[in-house]
Amino acid sequence: MQHDKIFDLIELEHRRQLEGIELIASENFASPNVMKAAGSILTNKYAEGLPKRRYYGGCEVVDDIEQLCIDRLCSLFGAEWANVQPHSGAQANAAVMLATLNSGDSILGFSLAHGGHLSHGSPVNLSGLYYDAHFYGVQQGTGRIDMDDVSRIAHTVRPKLLICGASAYARDWDYARFREIADEVGALLLADIAHTAGLIATGQLNNPMHYCHIVTSTTHKTLRGPRGGIIMLGKDYPNPMGKTTKKGDIRKMSSVLDSGVFPGTQGGPLEHVIAAKAVAFEEALQPSFKVYTKRVIQNARILSEALMDAGYNLVSGGTDNHLMLIDLSSKGITGKDAEALLGLADITANKNMVPFDTKSPFVTSGIRLGTAAITTRGFAEKEMVQIASWIDRVLSHGEQEAEKVKKEVNALAQSFPLHA
């Protein structure tokens, strides 16, 4: 059989991950067992529908796999119901919106420009194209969400769906207050916990399951599973939109959300990915995962403090979770240039807009960093201080210093496998 160049490229990517330092907040290193399941023969099986309710034959085994995945997820988060079929977090959000809203209904989410996610109403996303999107943000002086401001906007907009969750917000969320506001304006409350799911599952951060009508997430990031999405309900309940069965009975919310996934926004589920999700959820149920998530937060705090000690301005003045957003305006360098310089040193980060940014999303005034991936490799306090020093050296002195730092980065990375 002729050798396929794609495998040479995969090995190059493997070397890149192994030899560098991964600080992109949304990335992590899935375990060998997760990847084994994702690359299994389950990719051969079509299974439209739900366990025991399929449109194809031969689904006996994948039914058991998907049900086990659901059961493990519900156990992990204390949920009563879950759908594990969404292909991504954005797909999960789209399915929720299709199930609960009509085109043109108002939604209220966290502004993308302040750290939100594009699937929460961005005008370039279907959530902003098909629904009437409004936004809340952070306060300019504190870099934090002001719940009184959220309440004021919600009472003005009166959204059908209120969304909490972010991709670049370093603080925990007051889900109880969000629920109070949602109830006051008659909105459903959706929590998108894509970035912090692993930290929430082990009790490191507030749990939205007790307060939010619907919870969505990805399964990678801090959950350390395969790329994918999930939808959960803390408790099932009759859908408040009044959707009925053919007999005229009010459908349960779980049924409405199931329909939002299939046939609403997807066809057949990816059973090999669902199996990989099940493996990741079982890993997350082990005591060692709680130790890991504690270290993720500890590392983030140490790294953020070391950077602030070096004179860097962190939005909101620190972090409660795994990520930090650095405003580089005072350093005279753009996020785009900072990302490129760090890349020369084999330190991977991403440019990111900061609240009230005056630069475009392609340039930005900031960078976002996260500790989930490096903690998986076993990095601890000593390495956090060293990474902060490397970042400062590279951003302060440019390309020549980046070449020197690269050698030091590669030498350190040799001591840490991808899975400690």
Active site residues: 46, 48, 192, 218, 221, 227
Does the bond joining 123 to the residue before it have cis omega, within 30 degrees of 0?
Answer: no
What contacts 177, CB < 8 A, 6 or more positions away? 147, 150
Residue 108 burial (C-beta neighbours within 10 Å; 0-12, 13-18, 19+):
buried
Read off the tokens for 262. Answer: 């299939």
Report residue 332: phi and psi, to 5°. Answer: 70, 30
CB within 8 Å of 236: residues ≥ 6 apart: 80, 81, 252, 253, 254
Strands (DSSP E) contained in 308-414 are 313-314, 323-327, 347-348, 350-352, 366-370
Adjacent-strand bridge partners of 83? 231
- Contact assessment for residue 193 and residue 215, using Cβ atoms and an 8 Å cutoff: yes
Tell me the β-bridge partners of 109. Answer: 135
Contacts of 192 (CB under 8 A, 6+ apart): 89, 93, 117, 119, 120, 163, 164, 165, 166, 215, 216, 217
How far is the C-alpha of 129 from the C-alpha of 134, rounded, in Å? Answer: 12
* DSSP code for 238: B
DSSP-based three-state secondary structure for 110:
strand
Nearest to 399 by CA among 310, 331, 337: 337
270: enclosing H helix or E strand: none
> What radius of gyration do the chain's Cα atoms show?
22
Give the span between the Cα atoms of 165 and 152, in whole angstroms.
Answer: 19
Residue 419 amino acid letter: H
Parallel, antiparallel or unpaired: strands 132-136 and 106-110: parallel
- Picking from 354, 324, 273, the residue whose alpha carbon sits closest to that of residue 35 is 273
